[in-house]
Amino acid sequence: MNTRTNLHPANQDRAMGRKISVVIPIKEEEDNLGPLHQRLTEALSPLLDRATPNPAQVTDYEVVIVDDGSRDRSYEILCAQAAADPRWKVVKLRRNYGQTPALRAGIDHATGDLIATMDGDLQNDPADIPMLLAKHAEGYDAVFGERAKRQDAYLIRKFPSKIANWIIRKVTGSTTRDMGCTLRVLDGQIARDLPLYGEMHRFIPVLCQMQGARMVQVPVKHHARTAGVTKYNLTRTFRVVLDLITVKFLNSYLTRPMHFLGGLGLAFMVLGFASLAATIGMKLIGGTDMTGNPFLLLSMLLVLLGTQSIGLGILGEVLSRTYFESQGKRSYTIAQTLNLEDQPARKAA
């Protein structure tokens, strides 16, 4: 009898000893890089000491810094740090692409079994990473930080963030209270499977939820920025709403776009025929001229919109199948298998 067991990384033996990669996108943080290196070393070095309690069984670590098109001395400082510390890995992007592509680049170059992410402005505290690792060791796939006593301006940072978090929770059904906290620990496979495009870094908890990850959020420290300039502005709040539409569609209708667009089209057509019936009724009962009745034009518009929506739904179905089949993607993810050999899944006939 074949007793081979292939486990998702979240279910592998946690006593085997693992490596953690800390991924940090930065842009023009020259004054913060020295303290950042010192604090990360102080937080992560004890994990390598076998005499120190280490519930997560981390035996090695690396820090992957992604320079997202800095124009100050950040890259020069990073080069010096990498030369002095082999655990300090540096990825320099050719230009400023934004936080999500920079985070994607860091994850792509990370080699750890676990991946932690944080900002490079020292508002996140590296000393919280061992606590997140310990929480992860309890059996979670993703541990997210929640900024306790957040040290940011209320009107331009905290209040818009509260509104955005509330809207995201209502639309997606997520229970994560602080979507904007970048301090988190994820299973490596889950992190690498995240569809990080555009500015989707804000929705990582939702994207993890879409993968069926076991998630928890814990309070972490948050510090005021002491050096450098924030790259945040209020326009991000409006972009969140636009990105939320994409996330909702990906979460609910990626594999069945006709259910959304077709349903919308049917609703338009029903309203269109109802408007037409009202037009006919007004003609028969009150003698109202049909050609000058706005309800007639409304019925034509609604039926046209309904027909177009159903047509878009059909196109969406074709594109969905092309997306999955042409790239060998699956509409599901596997947590674990039992008694199966390591072999690629058979293609559908």
Per-residue pLDDT of the chain (349 residues; tens, 9 = 90+): 333 334 344 444 444 578 999 999 999 999 999 999 999 999 999 988 877 777 778 889 999 999 999 999 999 999 999 999 999 999 999 999 888 899 999 999 999 999 999 999 889 999 999 999 999 999 999 999 998 888 777 676 777 778 888 888 888 888 888 888 999 999 999 999 888 887 788 889 999 998 889 999 999 998 887 776 665 555 666 677 777 877 877 777 777 888 888 889 999 999 999 999 988 888 888 777 777 788 889 999 999 999 999 999 898 888 877 876 777 767 666 666 666 765 554 444 3
Segments in 154-203 forming alpha helices (H): 159-172, 188-192
Q: Measuring CA to CA, which residue among 148, 138, 115 is closest to residue 215? A: 138
Give the DSSP letter of residue 76. Answer: H
Say which residues have a Cβ less than 8 Å from residue 256's Cβ, sequence separation at least 6: 317, 320
Cα distances (Å, whole numbers) of residue 137 to 14, 56, 185, 192:
7, 5, 11, 19
